[in-house]
Chains A and B, each alone.
Chain A
Amino acid sequence: MSGKIRVLVGKPGLDGHDRGAKVIARAYRDAGMEVIYTGLHRTPEELARMAVEEDVDVVALSILSGAHGTLIPRFIDCFKKEKATQDLDVLILAGGIIPEEDIPALKEAGVDEVFGPGTSTETIVEFTRSHLKRPVA
């Protein structure tokens, strides 16, 4: 019996474009992972609750609205609060339209990697597999 890597693919905020999120979800699925898709327009609080209840190993947030600087750090704060720990053992990824100069601040806030447009799904899946922060249960 073996565990499965579980991934929450989330769409925070007022952003109605989820083709990218669905392509990523599909790529993770084809890599044998269990993907929980949140649907559109989720608040950081809701995403944090979902990530806890689904006990995911990875959270991948897709955001194209430009609000990443607010929503993603807020998600990480909520997630720590929900998990009652400062020391998250969950890999946190962001993707979408995120300018280069915003990336350091996101990493400072706790994002492990940011993937921009044109990144291949293989790259994302490989990165995810090799950077898990805990052994799969």
Chain B
Amino acid sequence: MGDIAAKGAHELFQGIVQGSRPHLSRAISHVENGARGAAELLSHAYKARKGALITGITGSPGVGKSTLVDGIVRELRKAGHTVGVLAVDPSSPFTGGAILGDRVRMGQGHALDEGVFFRSLATRGHLGGLSRHTGDVIALLDAFGFDHIVVETVGAGQSEVDIMRYAHTVVVVLAPGLGDDMQAIKAGILEIGDIFCVNKADLPGAERTRRDIEMMLDMKEPAGWRPPVTQAIAVNGQGLPELVSEIFRHQSYLVASDTLKEKNRWSYKAVLEEYLRLLTVGKVLELASRDGGLDAALDDLMQGKAGPMEVALKLLQKYWA
């Protein structure tokens, strides 16, 4: 475990405020690793948030999220905005290692652009499509002062929907040929899109995919924002200006309808819940595995001496005082 003494946290934060990239990236590592001093660093960062607009990009593996993110960054830069990008990839459930490959799609155009910061995050065992500290890292980027923050989730299946807690605007990316209109009416990821983007629109079936999504949206009670369904060919930039203008339109809608504040409150709730879990469940598991209490509890369960709820309550009483 790393150790940033009180002075270290303060110094890192000062670096962030002054726009130092090495300080920002070091701070992200400390937060990810739960280093001592990270709590203080985050207190500074959360207080210094500037209100960046946060866009989430999610969708199945291979639909083109990374390439699309690269195009979105290019368009945002053209419009004069600075951008912080977080790209999440999965950690191995066996070794805890990870290959973070989202940089591969990052074009040469803004690889050295001072207005862009890119960081890869591994899930480190966290489910839901993001890493545990995504909310905190967003706060660091926001304190640094980026106008926009773009978060790319892991290749999501059907229920990795955490991104909706942290992003103001969620773009669900689809590609042709991945399922019919039955998939489109299932619960889960398709419900969370503020914008849909059918990528690889030059492939057969793109129009059909677009229609399936429109049909799903037709079945919903009309209320406020109707998610647009856009098409793109991310590899050559086609459809990107349209996609980004829909993102802007959605963000103006959030401001005009006063739902931005509501969303922010909800995302603070997600961060708070995460910390409560860490401080309670995390603490109980850590203490109980240290003195054999966890093994004893598992023995009781295995031998049918007690039910899981009962055992959990006992653990809570013993270790959570």
Contact = CB atoms under 8 A, between A and B. Distances in A.
A134 to B, nearest CB: 9
A37 interface: yes
A74 to B, nearest CB: 14
Interface string A88-121: 0000000000000000000000000000000000
Indicate the member of A30, A53, A84, A136 with the most B CB atoms within 10 Å.
Answer: A53
B117 A3 contact: no
Nearest to A33: B97
B95 A25 contact: no
A2 B103 contact: no
A124 interface: no
A34 interface: yes
A31 B25 contact: no
Given A1-B1, A4-B122, A35 B98 contact: yes
Interface residues of B, number: 36
B28 A55 contact: yes
B75 to A, nearest CB: 21
Contact of B124 (A4, A55, A84): A4
Nearest to B21: A52
Given A1-B34, A137-B30, A32 B2 contact: no
A39 interface: yes
B111 A49 contact: yes
Contacts of B95: 29-32
Contacts of B98: 29, 34-35
Contacts of B104: 37-39
A77 interface: no
Interface residues of A, number: 35
Nearest to B25: A55
A25 to B, nearest CB: 6
B159 interface: no
A4 B100 contact: no
A52 B21 CA distance: 7
A33 B95 CA distance: 8
Contacts of A43: 108, 111
Nearest to A26: B99
Nearest to A47: B111
Given A53-B118, A83-B22, A46 B97 contact: no
A75 interface: no
Contacts of B2: 3, 135-137
B111 A32 contact: no
Contact of B26 (A25, A32, A46, A137): A137
A54 B24 CA distance: 10
Contacts of B35: 3, 137
B92 A29 contact: yes
Contact of B33 (A3, A38, A39, A84): A3
Given A55-B25, A84-B22, A37 B97 contact: no
B1 A39 contact: no
A50 B85 CA distance: 13
A55 B122 CA distance: 13
Contact of A4 (B26, B96, B106, B112): B96
A35 B100 contact: yes
A29 B119 contact: no
A134 B30 CA distance: 14
23 contacts: A1-B34, A2-B33, A25-B99, A29-B95, A29-B97, A30-B95, A30-B97, A32-B92, A34-B98, A34-B122, A35-B97, A35-B98, A37-B99, A43-B111, A45-B112, A50-B103, A52-B25, A54-B25, A54-B120, A84-B22, A136-B33, A137-B33, A137-B35
Interface of B: 1-2, 20-22, 25-26, 28-30, 32-35, 91-92, 95-101, 103-106, 108, 111-112, 117-120, 122, 124
Given A55-B25, A137-B32, 11 more contacts: A3-B29, A3-B35, A34-B91, A39-B104, A39-B105, A42-B111, A52-B21, A54-B119, A82-B21, A84-B22, A137-B30
Interface of A: 1-4, 6, 25-26, 28-39, 42-43, 45-46, 49-50, 52-55, 82-84, 135-137
Nearest 8 A/B pairs, CB to CB: A39-B104, A1-B34, A29-B97, A137-B2, A3-B33, A55-B25, A137-B29, A46-B111
